Amino acid sequence: MDPLDIRERIDRFRILVIGRANAGKTTILQRVCNTRENPEIYNSTGKKIDATVLMASTERGLHNIENEMVFKSNPGFIFHDSRGFEAGGESEFNKVKVFIADRSKEIKLKDQLHAIWYCIPMDEACRSFTSGELKFFSQCDTGSIPVIVLFTKFDALYDDDAYAQLKSKGASMKDAAELAPKHAEESFAIGSQLKFLYHSKEIRHPPKCHICLPNMDRDDADCGLLIERTAGTLDNEVLKQIFVSTQQSNLELCMKYAVEKSLMKRLNFAEATTSEDYEKTVAVSGAWFPHILRWTMFNFHHDLTSLIGVIVQRCGLGYSLRYVQFVTDCTCNSDVANVLGL
């Protein structure tokens, strides 16, 4: 199934976000969707929930995991929120298990749950896993749904641990501050938390992967690696195409998959790239950039030169040159740009 057909049939990617209170979940979702605005909330029937009603329910301790969070800036994502298991204990844990199981039984792919982001904040005084987190990874079998652990607020380790360790070894204040991020990442990679998460006998259902996310509250925060790691965990090629073409935070990933998954499968260098086949090839490649094509209202000539021009206008010359580089690297043919009219 090519990307054009996929986007017509399955237009949204669904993610369950789990995490303790103040784990930075909303901030990360805002970064993924390129916005500072709060999401709109819809119930399971698709009816928008008034913000005042939602606030009143929250204040009474009510929470519905079936509610859908959608950001206007990128309605292609549907997020479901779980408060974390310390808030509701056994009840919340059971709700999550039932939700995952029920979504797995959905017949239509668009109604199924596609990925789980489990947020664990690193600014807590005690950074060991909570009993609720241990319970999830030891008892909750998510089947084919990939779980990615997000170690949020990771920059807390820069000041609290890494900086102090570097200072104790004789580094100056300036050098310790500059080296702290790299030192924290290297120490964490070989630390006890990850060893326990992936190798402990208590963890029967470890995550597919993890990512450390520092400084997500900054305007220049980068969640590109989160997007790349999530895409890499998706075994279903249809879901991979939906996810990559829905996200708007990692344009280079769009380029990579457009070339590797679509362009190279369709391009036949033994024949002239003309007429209907050529236009189809370009359209399939462009389907990996739907947010860019929407911006042009699909008003561009069906050739790769025009697609590159759109990328230049929307995202800058550097990205367009990178796209050409992806094509040439993938084909190992330095003349491919000429073949494509670039």
Q: What percent of the chain has pLDDT over 70?
A: 68
Tell me the pLDDT tens digit for each residue of 85-121.
Answer: 765 568 888 999 999 999 999 998 889 999 999 999 9
Sheet holding 209-213, edge to edge: 40-42, 68-71, 74-82, 13-19, 115-121, 147-152, 209-213
Tokens 């009840």 found at: 91
More confident residue, 231 or 59: 231
Q: What is the pLDDT of residue 130?
A: 84
- The SS3 of residue 334 is coil
Flag whether pLDDT at 335 surpasses 70: no
Flag whether pLDDT at 35 surpasses 60: yes
Q: Which residues contact 93 (CB under 8 A, 6 or more apart)?
A: 85, 132, 135, 136, 140
Tokens 């280079």 found at: 252
User: Mean per-residue pLDDT for 36-48?
Assistant: 91
More confident residue, 265 or 77: 77
Nearest Cα residue to 109 out of 149, 70, 144: 144
Q: Tell me if 292 sits within 8 A of 315, measured CB to CB.
A: yes
Q: What is the pLDDT of residue 290?
A: 66
Name the token pair of 123: 């600014």
Tell me the pLDDT tens digit for each residue of 219-232.
Answer: 888 898 999 999 99
CA distances from 238 to 3, 75, 87, 326 (A): 8, 19, 35, 22
User: Mean per-residue pLDDT for 161-167?
Assistant: 77
Flag whether pLDDT at 326 surpasses 60: no
30-67 as b/e, with b when 16 or more CB fall inside 10 Å?
A: bbbbeeeeebebbeeeeeeeeeeeeeeeeeeeeeebeb
As a whole number of angstroms, the distance between CA 169 and CA 342 comes to 54
Name the token pair of 71: 């950001």
Residue 314, Cα to own-chain centre: how many angstroms?
Answer: 21
Q: What is the pLDDT of residue 340?
A: 42
Q: Which residues contact 274 (CB under 8 A, 6 or more apart)?
A: none
Least confident of 4-8, 33-37, 242-246, 335-339: 335-339
As a whole number of angstroms, the distance between CA 110 and CA 70 comes to 15
Q: What is the pTM of this model?
A: 0.81
Name the token pair of 190: 């070989």
Flag whether pLDDT at 22 surpasses 70: yes
Flag whether pLDDT at 146 surpasses 50: yes
Residue 200, Cα to own-chain centre: how many angstroms?
Answer: 27
Q: What is the pLDDT of residue 297?
A: 41
Least confident of 194-198, 265-269, 289-293: 265-269
Band of residue 194 on the pLDDT scale cut at 50, 70, 90? very high
As a whole number of angstroms, the distance between CA 119 and CA 17 comes to 7
User: Mean per-residue pLDDT for 128-134?
Assistant: 83
Tokens 């050739």 found at: 303
More confident residue, 65 or 330: 65
Q: Which residues contact 290 (CB under 8 A, 6 or more apart)?
A: 7, 245, 246
More confident residue, 26 or 254: 26
Least confident of 58-67, 288-297, 316-325: 316-325
